[in-house]
A and B are shown apart, each in its own frame.
Chain A
Amino acid sequence: GAVVSQHPSRVICKSGTSVKIECRSLDFQATTMFWYRQFPKQSLMLMATSNEGSKATYEQGVEKDKFLINHASLTLSTLTVTSAHPEDSSFYICSARDAFGGTDTQYFGPGTRLTVL
């Protein structure tokens, strides 16, 4: 099946710093990527939809100036958590939609564990 990678897998940072997370589709082109946040023992909550070449669409309650998304190419989307605080500590997962594969199936990256001290 389609492969999605995420980097880094784990990051620890100090409060007030910014962290960039990369999401790549390795063997397919993704016009749309999605960013989710998952707190321990909870479900995946969609943060934003990232469209190649256009501005991301954010879900209600997600601050676009705090969670910057850039979808620079058909295989890469980045999420930057700006001025991170301890409450931003979470598991961030991206997914990519293989719209050219005949279905709209989403494939998930392995996730990034962010810990803000």
Chain B
Amino acid sequence: GENVEQHPSTLSVQEGDSAVIKCTYSDSASNYFPWYKQELGKRPQLIIDIRSNVGEKKDQRIAVTLNKTAKHFSLHITETQPEDSAVYFCAASKEGGGGNKLTFGTGTQLKVEL
């Protein structure tokens, strides 16, 4: 089955700096890669996703890049703010007939310091 690895496990940045979280996946058939933000005790919130037919996607301060050949994808947050502090999870799945089971990474605790 799919295996998703995520690094780093913790990340501390100064407000205004950029943060980058990286994930690798094992199943070359995976074609959907969402990123979720989870605050303590709350539900995971989808913040951005990318499908394998594109290499990059951007939404304001958040961007995701995908390298299908290397089987890795990354989340980039620019101009970080204290409210960006949370745990971020990457995930991978096979849409359209693969059951869309999400396999999650182990999470990254992002702390944005003033």
Q: A-B contact count, CB below 8 Å?
A: 54
Which residues of A from 30 to 65 have beta carbons under 8 Å from B?
A: 32, 34, 42-46, 49, 57
The residue in chain B whose Cβ has the minimal distance to the Cβ of A1 is B46
B49 lies within 8 A of A43 (CB)? no
A105 lies within 8 A of B102 (CB)? no
Chain A facing B: main interface SS: strand
A44 lies within 8 A of B101 (CB)? no
15 CB contacts below 8 A, A to B, read A1-B46, A42-B106, A43-B104, A44-B44, A49-B99, A57-B99, A93-B43, A104-B32, A104-B100, A105-B46, A105-B49, A107-B46, A108-B36, A110-B43, A113-B41
User: 10 other contacts beyond A43-B106, A104-B95, with CB at 8 A cut-off?
Assistant: A4-B43, A42-B107, A43-B89, A43-B107, A46-B101, A93-B43, A95-B102, A97-B100, A103-B95, A106-B102
